[in-house]
Amino acid sequence: MMYKFSDKGAILVTGASGGIGAATVRQLCSAGGNVIASGQNTDQLHKLAKETGCATLPFDLASEEGVREAIEGLDVWGVVNCGGFGGEIATPMDTDIDIFDKVISINARGALLVTKYATQSMIRLGKGGAIVNVSSQAALVALKGHISYGSSKAALDNITRVSALELGKYGIRVNSVNPTVVMTEMSAFYWGRPDIGEPFLDQMPLGRWATEDEIAAPIVFLLSDAASMITGVCLPVDGGFTAC
């Protein structure tokens, strides 16, 4: 099915200078979406804009003032909260609390800030809307070394459910996708280790890493009218890992 977004308002995608965010921007633009791409790497955003025709709007997810100034006054119909920070591989016994705080600040608090200010626009416009939060399989099951990241994404899943409850009366749907590992340069340092990656894949029914487009596709679906009766869902996109 080809989704159409040409009749919708602007869709803000955070984390668009990263792999999943950029893939989401490409798919939305291909479907006629009016996309605003945000991220920290302005060079990557510029390249993405030249490739897709999207607008760009860099801002700092950790700053409420920065988020508010960027989003206030925009006519936003949709949001993809894809901006994130991986943090560290650590146990509860040896975690660096400063890093834990930063992970929570960006992954959970940052997404909540974007939701807070973007929904003011959605409610003002009175045309409903859709939000998709990019969570993780680490929110659904315990993964060794993921105390900070998993905690932040579990918080994001609850933000998803409570937001769906509160915003439904305005016709605004809120869902999450919970991806497995996409083997990027950032993830390869850990998941690319044979002693880590191979046992993980052995537990997964599909037995392979996800691609960026395989995560972007369900994001686009959840934004679309094809998902018009779906809200409050945390959708695993994990090759069956969390089903086992």
pLDDT reading at 45 higher than 70: yes
User: Residue 135's CB: how many other CB atoms inside 10 A?
Assistant: 30
Quote the pLDDT of residue 1: 52
What domains sit in the chain, N to C, each tagged with a CATH number?
Answer: 10-236 (3.40.50.720)
**37: CB partners within 8 A, 6+ apart:** 13, 16, 17, 21, 22, 25, 45, 48, 49, 54, 55, 56, 57
Quote the pLDDT of residue 63: 97
Structure tokens at 46: 């510029």
Instruction: Point out the least confidently predicted range of 69-83, 174-188, 206-220.
Output: 174-188
Quote the pLDDT of residue 107: 98
State percent of the chain over pLDDT 90: 95
pLDDT tens-digit profile of 127-138?
Answer: 999 999 999 999
Instruction: Examine the residue annotation and report whether 3 is marked as an active-site residue of this protein.
Output: no
* 218 neighbors 29 (Cβ within 8 angstroms): no
216-241 average pLDDT score: 98
220-224 average pLDDT score: 98
Higher pLDDT, residue 185 or 139: 139
pLDDT reading at 189 higher than 90: no
The reported pTM is 0.96
Quote the pLDDT of residue 188: 85
Q: Which ranges of the chain would DSSP assign to H, the alpha helix?
A: 19-30, 42-52, 64-71, 97-104, 111-125, 147-167, 185-191, 194-203, 212-223
Higher pLDDT, residue 1 or 41: 41
Q: Is 136 exposed, middle or buried (0-12, 13-18, 19+ CB in 10 A)?
A: buried
Quote the pLDDT of residue 186: 74
pLDDT reading at 177 higher than 60: yes
d(CA 117, CA 98): 26
Quote the pLDDT of residue 193: 94
State percent of the chain over pLDDT 70: 99
Closest CA to 230 of 218, 238, 242, 243: 218
pLDDT reading at 235 higher than 60: yes
What burial letters (b/e) apply to 182-201, b meaning 16+ CB within 10 Å?
A: bbeeeeeeebeeeebbeebb
Q: How far is CA 91 from CA 145, 147, 186, 196, 236, in A?
A: 5, 6, 19, 15, 24
48-58 average pLDDT score: 98
Quote the pLDDT of residue 184: 80
